[in-house]
Structures are given as C-alpha cells and as structure tokens.
Amino acid sequence: MPAQQKKLIFCTAGVLSLACALGTAAAIGTQLWVRGTVLCTTGALLVNATGAELHKFIGEIQYGLFSGQRVRQCGLGGRPFQFSFFPDLLKIIPASIHVSVILFCTVLIIFALVGAGFFMFNAFGSPYETLHGPVGLYLWSFIAC
C-alpha cells in the first residue's frame, strides 16, 4: 500500500474514532434521550375537551441520563417541573440500569480514544519497530487485559 494511501485511510479511521468518542460523551450529558407527551386526563374530562381545546391539556416530558423536565398542562398554562435521577427517581427506576449505561459509555469512550491513538500512530509513526520486542509485548498484554 502506498504511503499516502495508508496515511489517508488511517487518518480517516482515527477521525471517525475520535468523533465516536465525542458523540458518546455528548450523548451522556444531553437531556433528550426520551421525549414524550402527557395528557392531563382529569382536566380534559372536566371540561369535555376536544379538538383545539384538547391541545391545552397536553404536556410534555423529556429526560436524559441524569435529569429531565416535565411541563404539565392542565388548561391553566404550562408548569415546568425539573427533576434529577439520583434523589428523585431512585425509587422508581433501578440504579443498575443507569450505572451500566454510564459504565459502558465510559468503556466506549476509552476504547474509541485508544483506537484513535493507534490509528494516528499507524499513520504517522513506525509501528513495525515499536510493536515488536519487549515494549510491544507489554503493550499487547495491556490491551488484552
């Protein structure tokens, strides 16, 4: 493989791997994992709302991994309510789900950054001399662990 083509392929793979790490880190912090609408049935039933009136009784909820917001609409305008996972939702949603998502996202970020480093090293370094001998043995043993 020519040197320019090798550099281009490895640089492209490194940039994609870095973009994967940044995208995962951004996804952890966003509040838009789940988005939905909530109907205030008691208010809608009291006034027998249909059509355009029914829109006044439809609220929305959105939340992410750590926090969220709910806007209640019961005919009197929107009332926003902020909530977070750890003090508020621990009784409802098991913490093991959140811990496993955080753990796997962290592992994904670490592997993506290590992969990007290897891609850039293969593009601009001399991996044949470095990855043979005792240093290469220690490196591959560390990666295997």
Q: What are the pLDDT digits (tens) for 100-110?
A: 888 999 998 99
What's the pLDDT score for residue 136?
Answer: 66
Q: How far apart are the first and last CA of the chain?
A: 31
What's the pLDDT score for residue 140?
Answer: 64
Out of 24-33, 56-65, 87-96, 134-143, which region has the weakest mean confidence (pLDDT)? 134-143
Render pLDDT for 119-133 as a digit per residue (tens, 0 to 9).
888 788 776 656 666
Structure-token pair, residue 23: 């995208």
Q: What pTM does this model have?
A: 0.65
Out of 29-33, 42-46, 83-87, 130-134, which region has the weakest mean confidence (pLDDT)? 130-134
Contacts of 109 (CB under 8 A, 6+ apart): 21, 24, 25
What is the Cα 140 distance to its own chain's centre? Answer: 29
Looking up tokens 């109907």, which residue turns up? Answer: 39
